[in-house]
Chain A
């Protein structure tokens, strides 16, 4: 009867299982990271003093602001246009469905960089835009900034369309049938029954897209729009401190995507994936916290 536990130990704390290799892994990881850090700090070629000098330079901050704006505008417009495209793709009308699919096919099938340069050079194809008396010179309208917004937005809309459509498809077919059997019209079924449920799938992915857009917006530097990367380029174009300025840009990209990641997780846990298992009180609180943001 050696298996009988000594009295009093039945309520003792339970420790989780840990492999010996877990501790060895920690040791190895700490050593490797420490060596990497040491080399970056001691290697004079990193020019950390230059990094420090430009980290908060006005031109860099203006670039950060421009990057944030490009990201915000492209994501918001991308979601709106993408939602319209998604509804078109699900439409009973074959014309609308085909048009939307063709749009997605084209904009997902060509590189974003090519699209951006294409928009920038639109004036070469159509020197004037408009009808009759309302004709304007294309080069005046298609500024680098405008081309950047159009390029990022039209591309993002194609991805958003697929994401939103996927969200709708994720809702069980029985929901549509139940709503239809009550006599709800197609627009009610789409917006009141399916959309709120699809959002659980869509919202986390939009967060992902926003983080991707933050970095993809650096592509518009080729158009000469002074977002973060281009601002860094302008500086290292004159002082040839390429690496330190790329580090400056990277620090800002990392900081911004970290903040977005935190926001994304907050939104996700507030009203993301598990409304099904929530109590009404918690759900109400979650709705309020989302509304406050």
Chain B
């Protein structure tokens, strides 16, 4: 279990003159669940979006299982990869969004099957079979023909998780997956995530659910103002934080 799944070194991200990430380092071991917590605007979501190259970066490196993400090395720097190469890299990295982002013109099962079928990786029958299995795994059997608009937020997010799983990603990214949900819908999504964690999926989760982090995470990373303030086991970071900023944040949230 000591293989490094995600490795971030010296990551710098700027939006114009505004620096969002300053020299961020992050390591996620294969099979681990890594939770990133921090106040709004701390750069945690941006960090996640850099992992699958949804953002261009201005410095540093992101590697997933050793492969440099988003860029090719030149003799004196880096060059952004072509859209097709970026897409190829993203096939291996699943992502679940805060606002679900299911495709509204497709049924639940079409949302799952469209990527492997369009990419020619699976036949319609094979994709359909796998999609049904995944939908039942997230507790959504019977909703295959439903359109996203007919589903509750929690149901949509579970379909979205199943969709991300369709590509058999080596890493799953979650960007505040329960922040847009009604309070009574949060647990159904967290339960699915806990189940995925138990199956040994490598997961990077940006979340405000500290209870989830405490229960499931192998590593908790606290970020503030674009830097990693503190990182360690949940007991350590959430229970006995060393830094004042972490303590201040936790005292406000808990």
Chain A complexes with chain B:
yes
Chain A contacts to B: CB under 8 angstroms = 92, 172, 174-175, 177-186, 188, 192-193, 196-197, 275-280, 283
Contact-residue size bin, chain B (C-beta under 8 Å from the other chain): 35 or more
A192-B84 in contact (CB<8A): no
- Among A92, A181, A197, max chain B CB count under 10 A is at A181
Task: Return the contact of B119 from the options A92, A174, A175, A183 (Cβ within 8 A).
Answer: A183
B119-A178 in contact (CB<8A): no
Which residues on B sit within 8 Å (CB–CB) of A178? 95, 97, 101-103, 160
B84-A184 in contact (CB<8A): no
Of chain B, the residue at the smallest CB distance from A276 is B149
Task: Return the contact of B114 from the options A192, A277, A279 (Cβ within 8 A).
Answer: A192
Task: Return the contact of A181 from the options B95, B105, B147 (Cβ within 8 A).
Answer: B95
Q: Which of B96-138 contact A (CB under 8 A)?
A: 97, 99, 101-105, 107, 114-115, 118-119
Question: Is B234 an interface position by the 8 A CB rule?
Answer: no
Which residues on A sit within 8 Å (CB–CB) of B166? 182
Question: Is B142 an interface position by the 8 A CB rule?
Answer: no
- Among B87, B119, B164, max chain A CB count under 10 A is at B87
Bound-state CA distance A180–B52 (Å) is 9
B97-A275 in contact (CB<8A): no
B146 to chain A, nearest CB (A): 7
B147-A185 in contact (CB<8A): no
A174-B99, A174-B101, A177-B97 known; A184 vs B54 contact (CB < 8 Å): no
A188-B118, A278-B147, A280-B145 known; A197 vs B87 contact (CB < 8 Å): no
B120 to chain A, nearest CB (A): 11
Bound-state CA distance A226–B60 (Å) is 68
B87-A185 in contact (CB<8A): yes
A112 to chain B, nearest CB (A): 35
A183-B90 in contact (CB<8A): yes
Question: Is B94 an interface position by the 8 A CB rule?
Answer: yes
B90-A283 in contact (CB<8A): no
A185-B54 in contact (CB<8A): no
A192-B147 in contact (CB<8A): no
A275-B104 in contact (CB<8A): yes
A283-B54 in contact (CB<8A): no
Task: Return the contact of B103 from the options A175, A180, A186, A279 (Cβ within 8 A).
Answer: A175
Which residues on B sit within 8 Å (CB–CB) of A174? 97, 99, 101
CB 8 Å contact bits of B62-98 with A (1 = contact, 0 = none): 0000000000000000000001101110111111010
A183-B167 in contact (CB<8A): yes
Bound-state CA distance A40–B147 (Å) is 55
Pull 24 A–B residue pairs with CB atoms less than 8 Å apart, ordered by A.
Answer: A174-B99, A177-B54, A177-B95, A177-B97, A180-B86, A180-B90, A181-B52, A181-B54, A181-B173, A182-B94, A182-B114, A184-B87, A184-B115, A185-B118, A186-B83, A186-B87, A188-B119, A193-B103, A197-B104, A276-B104, A276-B147, A277-B149, A279-B150, A280-B107
B107-A186 in contact (CB<8A): no
Can you add 16 more A-B contacts, CB < 8 Å, to A179-B103, A183-B90? A92-B83, A174-B97, A175-B103, A178-B102, A181-B52, A181-B173, A182-B114, A182-B115, A182-B163, A182-B166, A184-B87, A184-B115, A184-B118, A185-B87, A192-B118, A276-B149
A186-B84 in contact (CB<8A): yes
Task: Return the contact of A183 from the options B87, B105, B150 (Cβ within 8 A).
Answer: B87
Bound-state CA distance A277–B150 (Å) is 7
Closest 9 A/B residue pairs (Cβ): A183-B91, A178-B101, A181-B95, A174-B101, A182-B115, A276-B149, A196-B105, A183-B90, A186-B83
A197-B105, A280-B147 known; A180 vs B54 contact (CB < 8 Å): yes
